[in-house]
Amino acid sequence: MRLSLAFACLFGYTIASPLVRTRQATSQTSPPDGAVVVDGSSSPQAGSFPTVQQGVDALSNSSTTAQVLFIFPGTYEEQVYIPALQSSLTIQGHTIDSSSYEKNEVTISYNLARTTVANNDVTATVRQWNNNTKFYNVNIKNTFSPHPSTNGQNLAISAQTGNQGYYGVQFWGYQDTVLANEGNQLYAKCLIVGAVDLIFGQDATAWFENVDIRVNGNGFITASGRDSADNPSWYVINNSDVAAIDSSIPAGDSSLGRPWKAFARVVVQNTFLGDVIKAAGWDAWSSASDGNTPNSTLAEFGNTGPGSEGTRASFSKKLDEAVSFESILGSEYKSEWYVDSAYL
């Protein structure tokens, strides 16, 4: 069941109603002992750093003890690179309600696209290269505009390693918003905004749970770059909500995805699909002679809403049962450090 409450966000948009969330609201307003603290305000906390990158640079590269980076409210106009560390890392944004993205008070924003740099990763507002990392209650935005027909990729997050968890995080972009590229990744109670290939990558096994996906232009929700039958990559969008960001986006303007590589694998299940999703559901990759469709798995199960109706593309599939957490993230996923079961 959907709420009638509208959630006002930056960029002047009013977000379509999110699904009902059940996790109990809790505040995260003070850093734990030993945390590295970022505070860009005019009256910063003693011992804090004024930018997120300076906070990251202050983390230990040699310690194996879990580390925490705590960020006080503000908009931080910068690009952040998180290198490989020897320890796990938690990044927590200040919030009075950590149960979802709606009360986030921390934004990291940058403006860059492929028009001037060498590859997609370098465009990302946050370049995340550390294993065993959890993000909570941070808005990550790439504000590049206008968007050219070529080299317009502008990533919010470049998630380049495994064992990553994102909880109550907002991701804003237009083309290639979330690069989920390697290893096991979990996105829960997040917001993902974009138009073209919002979720893309090559080798990740990524699960998206209770995620609100908002389309801000004509395009495709996913672009799986799985390139062989031996590649373990999956993208599963479960129990989520897909809609246009506002009434300016026409009905039937987007699809659930297109196969970037020849063995693309995406499942959308148990999800509300607004009328922004076209009746065919999926698109082929237009620059490939066969559309990259013969060996791809572009599938659905148990979806509802007007975007779930209509004659689906002949190369797509309807599953007989839902894909399980265990089949994607492993039978012991609940015991993994990066998995916060409170958000599931």
3-state secondary structure 286-326: CCCCCCCCCCCEEEEECCECHHHCCCCCCCCEECCCCCCHH
State the catalytic residue, choosing from 39, 97, 176, 340: 176
Tokens representing 98? 């950590």
Identify whether the C-beta of residue 208 lies closer than 8 Å to the C-beta of residue 169.
Answer: no
What tokens does 1 get?
């069941």
Instruction: Please name the amino acid found at residue 164.
Output: Q
For the chain, the maximum distance between any two Cα atoms, rounded to a whole number of angstroms, is 61
- CB neighbours of 214 closer than 8 A, spacing ≥ 6? 13, 15, 16, 191, 192, 193, 243, 244, 245
Q: Is 176 a catalytic residue?
A: yes
**What are the CA-CA distances from residue 125 to residues 80, 141, 176, 188, 286 (Å)?**
6, 7, 12, 20, 29
From 39, 197, 283, 340, the catalytic residue: 197
Alpha carbon dihedral 314, 319, 320, 322, in 10-degree steps, equals -170
**Other beta carbons less than 10 A from residue 1's beta carbon:** 5
Which two structure tokens, joined as six digits, stand for 74? Answer: 């503000």
**89-93 and 67-71 as β-strands: parallel, antiparallel, unpaired?**
parallel
- 275 among known catalytic residues: no
**C-alpha dihedral (295, 205, 183, 326), degrees to nearest 10:** -130
Q: Give the separation between CA 22 and CA 209, rounded to whole angstroms.
A: 13
Q: So which residues are the catalytic ones?
A: 176, 197
